[in-house]
Amino acid sequence: MSNAPELFALENDAWQVRIAPSLGGAIVDARWHGRDVLRPTPAAELEARNVRKTACYPLVPFSNRIAFGSFRFGDSRYALVKNLAGMAHAIHGVGFQRAWSVHASDANSIDMLLSHKPDEHWPFAFEAQQRIAIEGDALTLGMRITNTDARATPCGAGWHPFFPLDTAAGETRLHTAWNSMLVGDANDLPCASTQPPQFGALDETIVDNCFTGWSGNARIDTPHHRIVIEASDALRCAVLFRPAGQPFFAFEPVSHANNALNGNEPPMHVLAPRETLEARMTVAMESLRRQA
């Protein structure tokens, strides 16, 4: 019997996108005119329900690391479960490790819900709504996070999309603007900020840093197509992750700095009871023929 999650498909004349609500509300693959825009999930990893090998997953209610799973908020100190094996920190929130329910779906969109009660992974209640939709050449991801706790709570949002690198076909380059780069220490936690470097081809770049003061716009030029990313005002940080020896990179629009709950800036949002944080990102595609 297969252990793979149920998949929901979106399709129009340009896009074919598959989503696994029960596997962290993740995108399994996203193809534009038959070519992968996001790193596709290998069949064996899908069968193993390995959400970190999917094409894109949501970051809610926080992005990246909380140092050693510990933080102070208000008058209390909280200890979180280290939620990934071998990781000294809590990372990427809870949404990517939970099953989302499907509220509505059709050929062009899917709406998913996640209701969280306080636990050892996150001590505050919230409800998240994630919408993934295609229209024309654009893929749009939207998030609404509502504080359902009786207290004010910290809240963040973002996505973790992976993009393939086809080094055999040519270079892939990222064009964007940001104000500063957070430099990590031996524990992969921000310890300083510096002027961002000028990156060349991503194929030759090794990086895992958060960038603050992001413009909210980015262009990725690949050998096959151009990807234009636009993010809403809530997402003014971005994490660029390009590990050595791997045929992919991640460009993650997020709402706050790594380890923001322990003093790094920009901070997380603080939501009053019933207050909502909204975030959105759009991935719009352009063919090389249109650029010529």
Tell me the pLDDT band of 290, cut-offs 50, 70 and 90.
low
Please state, in angstroms and rounded to a whole number, the distance separating the CA atoms of residues 135 and 208. 32
pTM score, two decimals?
A: 0.96
The three-class DSSP label of residue 51 is helix
Contact partners, residue 186, CB within 8 Å, separation at least 6:
none
Q: Is 34 left (phi over 0), alpha (psi -120 to 50) or beta?
A: left
Please state, in angstroms and rounded to a whole number, the distance separating the CA atoms of residues 152 and 148. 9
List C-alpha distances in Å: 222 to 38, 168, 225, 228, 251.
12, 11, 5, 11, 14
The domains located in the chain, with CATH, are 8-291 (2.70.98.10)
**Contact status, residue 65 vs residue 208, Cβ threshold 8 Å:** no
* Residue 90, both tokens: 């809590």
Please state, in angstroms and rounded to a whole number, the distance separating the CA atoms of residues 279 and 268. 13
For residue 285, which amino acid is it? M
Mean pLDDT of 241-268: 97
pLDDT tens, position by position, 35-90: 999 999 999 999 999 999 999 999 999 999 999 999 999 999 999 999 999 999 99
